[in-house]
Structure 1
Amino acid sequence: MPQGLELDNLISVIVPCRNERQHIDAFCNSALLQELPAGWRMEVLIADGDSDDGTREHLMQRCAADPRLVLVDNPGRIVSTGLNACIARARGGTIARMDVHSQFAPDYLAQCIEALERTSADNVGGPWVAQGTGPTGAAIAAAFQCRWVVGGARSRDVQYEGEVDTVYLGCWPRGVFDRFGLFDEALVRNQDDEHNLRMRLGGARIWQSSRIHSTYHPRNSLRHLFAQQRQYGYWRPFVMRKHGQPGSVRQLVPAAFVAAAVGAAAASPWSAWPLAALGIAYAGYLLAASVAAARSARNGGLLPRLPGTIAAFHVGYGLGTWRGLWDIARSRAPSSDFARITR
């Protein structure tokens, strides 16, 4: 869109999706129920990445029934290309990201608008709150929410209000994308973290508001969780290569643990003590973190499932990080094995 044609009282919601037939109706309903401040309007741009499960055909029907919904083509099929395709079509002076696998409070967008006006920040969002389905999904959500598991990330703290290094989803004045550029289409994962890092390095402020409420539905199997975390870990070194630093030190901890485990195992023919000591220490950590996560979730029945769940988070991410570092060290292009969005 040519600069200057955006509408100040229009908020453009940008949403990437691919093969989301089971979830797209719930998302559209949640988005269309948003209660905007007086005088504000919205458009919801949904970038479909060549879905082949009926999502696209259903979206076409929903868009025909409500002009606030707009279908956008995303031939790149990944999140970053979908977000950029939506931004290119957006007409609003304010841009907010939503996710198909999240549910949003009716005042979600109104609180985003209020936070931008109140803080003059360059990006605002709410805490990242997970709610799983089934016993395994509930354990994944409990681990996801626990500070002991995620290294104290403020994004999981529902009470925190203030500046952060990254924020869930995001809401920006349109001019932010003119100043700092669009999302990096070379990244299949971590494109939001990279964009926030790029903004912070350029002097931008990112703000988390405890008044902005949404609920994220995570994976509901350990296999899918492991694949997701391995993919997140794989793309982290590519962000580090671009900027010469990680988004935060906690993102390197899983890789350090995997390296320590491999080193201790390699030394075991000469001495079993390093591997035994690491195993005992990590078992103690898993127990303590599992108790903390179960207590935070107020569900003691999750305790037997939590050690394996937490290990899947850490080992998957750590292995993925080392694979990404290996590909970079060999000057290889990113592996096609990690180029498809997993769910």
Structure 2
Amino acid sequence: MFDINSQNKISIIIPVYNEEKTISKTLESLLNNDYKAIEIIVVDGMSTDNTKKILEEYVSKYPTKIKILQNPKKHTPAGLNIGIQNASGKYIMIASGHATYSENYISACVEAIESNLCDVAGGLMETLPRAHNPKAIAIAEVLKHPFGVGGAKYRTGAQKNEYVDTVAYGIYKKEIFEKVGLFDERLIRNQDIEFNIRLKDAGYRIMLVPQAKVYYFARDTFKGLWQNNFSNGFWVTHSRKYVKKAYKLRHLIPLFFVIYLLILAVTLSILVIPTFFKLLGLVPLSLYLAMVTIFSASVSTKHNDNSIFFYTLTSFLILHISYGTGSLVGLVKKAE
């Protein structure tokens, strides 16, 4: 077992903007972790709600543990870089203001790094509803379903330590940022994907540690789901305007789906195309809708609530189409 002392101090960077509903839960879970050699650096992106007031209350209560920095640029990568540049720990943890962490989260991840198993470690993410209603539950279920989020192991689960391409809320050796560089501030979203590609290319190892768990509070409205995933999809492709490696092939699947839908719509509207070919073009969409129906029914059965079925089906559609549409717009903007 490694020695938890000041030499192994970890700096926890939390970029926030209007997190009054969840920031207290986040801070409490970090303060109650079994790893005590920590400093918490909250970088506020000029919040307009009560986030700053809540943070100041915590600073007055824990003046040696928590400090607040301001991020006038507001965007997440800028906030992360401000925190990293002001960190004094041996390790850097990237945290979220709308998530909580298991009591062993930090110690389990740091132990993996100290044991020389990896250079970056992060835990499994369990997505939770932000509100207790069928819509919020459905959105949370979709955001942790393999059909919803693809092959992201930190979302879908693992039974043992496993090397991966990326983790959520990872703990990094500070030297990585000194050698690889900081987050690219031109990438308003998905800066973590590009950064992890960069560090893997430099030979660093990323490990998923399933004993450590993070509990993420999902958005609870269809509007919020659409906006968040449209933005994620947009920055996946638009990032190529600034960097060569910004995503993996799996990140483009929703884009291919939306392009297929557009081609299908055009094809069905052209009268000269034989009916057979039109019906043939509907086969992939039929298979997709069948899978969405089956998975939505499964979620509904799991919660023993029929109303969840329709919310889940809608959430799947919004998730895939918003992400793919965002990626398509990102390509168009990149070309301008």
Aligned-residue offset at 1:171:
0.3
Which region of structure 1 is more displaced relative to structure 2, 118-127 or 318-327?
118-127
TM-score (norm 1): 0.88
- Conserved? CA contact 1:142–1:294, under 8 Å: no
Counterparts of 1:228-247 in structure 2, within 5 Å, are: 228-245=228-245, 247=247
The answer as to 2:303 corresponding to 1:299 is yes
Which region of structure 1 is more displaced relative to structure 2, 139-148 or 321-330?
139-148
Q: Deviations over 1:136-176 (max 9, x none)?
A: 11111111111122223212233342110110111011101
Counterparts of 1:1-343 in structure 2, within 5 Å, are: 8-36=7-35, 41-67=37-63, 68-132=65-129, 133=131, 134-160=133-159, 161-245=161-245, 247-268=247-268, 269-270=270-271, 271=273, 272-273=278-279, 276-291=282-297, 293=299, 298-301=302-305, 302-330=308-336
- Conserved? CA contact 1:162–1:209, under 8 Å: yes
Which SS does the other structure have where 1:195 is aligned? helix
Aligned length: 319
- Conserved? CA contact 2:113–2:120, under 8 Å: yes
Q: Aligned partners of 1:292 and 1:119: how far apart in 2?
A: 41
TM-score (norm 2): 0.89
Give aligned-pair identity as a percent: 27
- Conserved? CA contact 1:148–1:292, under 8 Å: no
Which SS does the other structure have where 2:261 is aligned? helix
1:322 aligned partner, one-letter code = L
Change (3 A) 1:200 1:273: same
Q: Aligned partners of 1:115 and 1:217: how far apart in 2?
A: 26
- Conserved? CA contact 1:47–1:72, under 8 Å: yes
Aligned-residue offset at 1:279:
3.3
Instruction: Please give the root-mean-square deviation of Cα atoms over the aligned residues, in Å.
Output: 1.8
1:13 aligned partner, one-letter code = I
Aligned-residue offset at 1:291:
4.1
2:196 aligned partner, one-letter code = N
Aligned-residue offset at 1:198:
0.9
Q: Aligned partners of 1:221 and 1:151: how far apart in 2?
A: 21
2:328 aligned partner, one-letter code = W
Gaps of 5+ in 1: 1-6, 331-343
Aligned-residue offset at 1:300:
4.3
Q: Aligned partners of 1:314 and 1:192: how far apart in 2?
A: 20
Gaps of 5+ in 2: 1-5
Q: Aligned partners of 1:86 and 1:100: how far apart in 2?
A: 14
Aligned-residue offset at 1:329:
0.9
- Conserved? CA contact 1:229–1:313, under 8 Å: yes
Q: Aligned partners of 1:294 and 1:129: how far apart in 2?
A: 19
Q: Deviations over 1:88-123 (max 9, x none)?
A: 111101111221111111221111211211344121
